[in-house]
Amino acid sequence: MHPFHFGSGKQPLFGVYHAPGVARSVVEAVVICQPLGHEYIRAHRSLRNLATRLSQGGLHVLRFDYFGCGDSAGDLKDATFERWRKDVATAIDELKDMSGATRVSVVGVRFGATLALLATASRRDIETAVLWDPVARGAVYIEELANLQQRWLASRPRLTPPPGRKEQEELLGFPLRPALKQELEAVDLGQTAATGARRIVLVNSAGMDAAAVGTRLAALQPDLVVETMADDCAWHHAGSVHHAVLATAIVEGISRCFETRRRA
């Protein structure tokens, strides 16, 4: 693993590059787009394992933090949806420069999957987009997080918001200013007009209703591949808010997507 900063010199993004462990006849590269907020923390171990496995199979892999998130520059209060979408594009261009690849694949989780799809819609250098439990509608996503927070707080009666802080100003420990909340609520994959990816793989974890997003993606990509995995990521379970997502079956399944494409 090689941690480094890239992008703007004044507001650099933090990334971790995983070099290929074996040589391939064709250079292949994958950018991993993290989820947001507490889901970023929950999925971190699985995405690190995925990056390691893909790199050991011969792929160049970059996982990174969006502006205002993780170890990247900036403050979350200054983040915007458009900035995050540009961050995905910046990461893709950086990995192309590092690896020499002419085309790049993306793997996104939850809202990271949504960002990946929207950020690559107008590009022509995207091979495969793997979307793991993508967020179809931002308004529903924000409502689900708000309900999850209420249920989580109800199970811990001693926890109350600090005086003067409105509960809607943060979700599960992460600040959410009104302007960013409105931007996220406005996101709707049902209004996506195009995709730049040659191939889309929709990964559904156990218990997730992906019918709506699956229908929309099938309209964009007639050859849509849908994979339903046995792992229950418990995205909406109040008791799992601080539990790591150990999605072994999903990590293996996504890895096979790239192994299968190489053999095809």
Question: Between 111-119 and 81-99, two packed helices, what is the crossing angle to 10 degrees?
Answer: 70
Structure-block tokens of residue 259: 């192994």
Calculate the alpha carbon distances from 228 to 24, 102, 157, 205, 249 in Å: 29, 30, 37, 6, 10
32 within 8 A of 40, measured Cβ to Cβ? no
- Per-residue pLDDT band for 252 (boundaries 50, 70, 90) equals very high
Average pLDDT over residues 162-191: 81
Q: How do residues 25-81 score in pLDDT, each as one tens digit?
A: 789 999 999 999 999 999 999 999 999 999 999 999 999 999 999 999 999 989 999
- Does the pLDDT of residue 182 top 70, yes or no? yes
Q: How do residues 115-151 score in pLDDT, each as one tens digit?
A: 999 999 989 999 999 999 999 999 999 999 999 998 8
Question: Between 81-99 and 178-185, two packed helices, what is the crossing angle to 10 degrees?
Answer: 70
- Does the pLDDT of residue 156 top 90, yes or no? no
Q: How do residues 230-248 score in pLDDT, each as one tens digit?
A: 899 999 999 899 899 999 9
- Per-residue pLDDT band for 163 (boundaries 50, 70, 90) equals low
pTM: 0.92
Domain residue limits, the chain: 2-136+190-263
146 within 8 A of 168, measured Cβ to Cβ? yes
What pLDDT is recorded for position 73? Answer: 96
Q: How many Cβ atoms sit within 10 Å of the Cβ of residue 110?
A: 24
- Does the pLDDT of residue 6 top 70, yes or no? yes
Q: Give me the amino acid identity at 86.
A: K
List all residues 6 or more positions away from 150 whose beta carbon is below 8 Å from its beta carbon.
none
- Per-residue pLDDT band for 194 (boundaries 50, 70, 90) equals confident
d(CA 54, CA 45): 14
Tell me, which fold does domain 2-136+190-263 have in CATH?
Rossmann fold (3.40.50)
Higher pLDDT, 193 or 197: 197
Higher pLDDT, 77 or 18: 18
Higher pLDDT, 211 or 113: 113
